[in-house]
Amino acid sequence: MLWHSLGLEDVFKQLESGRKGLSFGLAKQRLKQFGKNEIRLERKISPLKIFAEQFKSVLVLVLLAASFVSFVVSLFPGYEDNLINAILIFVIVIANGVFGFFQEFKAEKSLEALKKMSPNKAIVLRNGQKQVVDAVELVPGDVVFLEAGELVPADARVFQARNLHLDESLLTGESMPVSKRTKVLPQQTNLAERINMVFKNSVVTSGTGLAMVTETGLKTEVGKIAESLHGPGQKATPFQVELDRLGKRIGFLVVIVVAFVALNQLFFLNVDGSFANRLVIVFLTAVSLAVAAIPEGLPAVVTWSLGLGTRRMAKNNALVRKLASVEGLGDVDVICTDKTATLTENRMTVTRIFSNGKTVNVTGTGHDLDGNFLLGKIKIPASEFEPILRAGALCNDSEISFDEDNNKIFVGDPTEIAFLVSARKAGFSEKRILLSMPRINEIPFESEKKRMVTVHDAGNGKQVVFMKGAPEIVLEHCSKILLQGKEVKLCKKNVDEILEKNKFFASQALRVLGFAYKKEKKGGKKFEEELVFLGLQAMIDPPRKEVKASISECKSAGIRVVMLTGDNIVTAKSIAEQLGIKGKALDGNKVHKLTDEQLSFAVEETGIFARVSPDAKLQVLKALQANGHVVAMTGDGVNDAPALHAADVGVSMGLRGTDVAREASDIILLDDNFSTIVLAVKEGRTIFDNIRKFVNYLMTCNLAEVLVVFLLSFGGFIALFPAQLLWINLLTDGPPALAIGIDPGNKDIMKRKPKKKNEGVINKRLAYLIAGIGVWMTILLIGVFFIGFSFGGIVLAQTMLFTGFILYEFVRIVVIRQQEHIGLFENKWLVYAVGFSLFLQLLLLYTPLSSLFSLVQLSLFPITQLEIFFWSVLLGGVAIGWIGAFVITKLVVSATPTQN
> Residue 478 pairs with which residues in a beta bridge?
531
Strand-pair category, 143-147 with 203-215: antiparallel
d(CA 696, CA 693): 5
Higher pLDDT, 612 or 139: 139
- Strand intervals (E) in 258-348: 318-320, 334-337
d(CA 749, CA 742): 15
Is the pTM higher than 0.85?
Answer: no
Higher pLDDT, 64 or 802: 802
The torsion defined by the Cα of 667, 671, 674 and 675, in degrees rounded to 10, comes to -100
The torsion defined by the Cα of 530, 531, 533 and 538, in degrees rounded to 10, comes to -130
Q: Is the pLDDT of residue 656 over 80?
A: no
Region class of 616: left (phi > 0), else alpha (psi between -120 and 50), else beta: alpha
Higher pLDDT, 106 or 814: 814
338 catalytically annotated: yes
d(CA 469, CA 513): 5
Q: For residue range 492-531, what is the model confidence (pLDDT) as tens digits? A: 999 999 999 999 998 888 999 999 999 999 988 889 999 9
d(CA 223, CA 170): 13
Average pLDDT of the chain to the nearest whole number: 84
d(CA 43, CA 230): 9
Q: For residue range 547-588, what is the model confidence (pLDDT) as tens digits? A: 999 999 999 999 999 999 878 888 889 899 999 999 999 998
Which region among 42-51, 227-236, 491-500 has the lowest average model confidence (pLDDT)? 227-236
Q: Is the pLDDT of residue 473 over 90?
A: yes
663-677 as b/e: b if 16+ CB within 10 A:
bbbbbbbbebbbbbb
Contact 886, 815 (CB under 8 A): yes
pLDDT score, position 239: 62
Higher pLDDT, 39 or 181: 181
Active-site position among 155, 331, 333, 338: 338
pLDDT score, position 7: 93
Locate all alpha helices (DSSP H) within 749-793, ordered by sequence.
764-792
C-alpha dist (Å) from residue 245 to 241, 250, 325: 6, 9, 17
pLDDT score, position 116: 46
> Residue 463 pairs with which residues in a beta bridge?
457, 520
Which region among 155-164, 234-243, 614-623 has the lowest average model confidence (pLDDT)? 234-243
Contact 694, 299 (CB under 8 A): no
pLDDT band at 891 (very low <50, low <70, confident <90, very high): very high
Which region among 478-482, 725-729, 824-828 has the lowest average model confidence (pLDDT)? 725-729
pLDDT score, position 115: 47
If DSSP codes are grouped into helix, strand and coil, which group holds residue 120? coil
Q: For residue range 760-771, what is the model confidence (pLDDT) as tens digits? A: 778 888 989 999
d(CA 133, CA 123): 6
Q: Is the pLDDT of residue 483 over 90?
A: yes
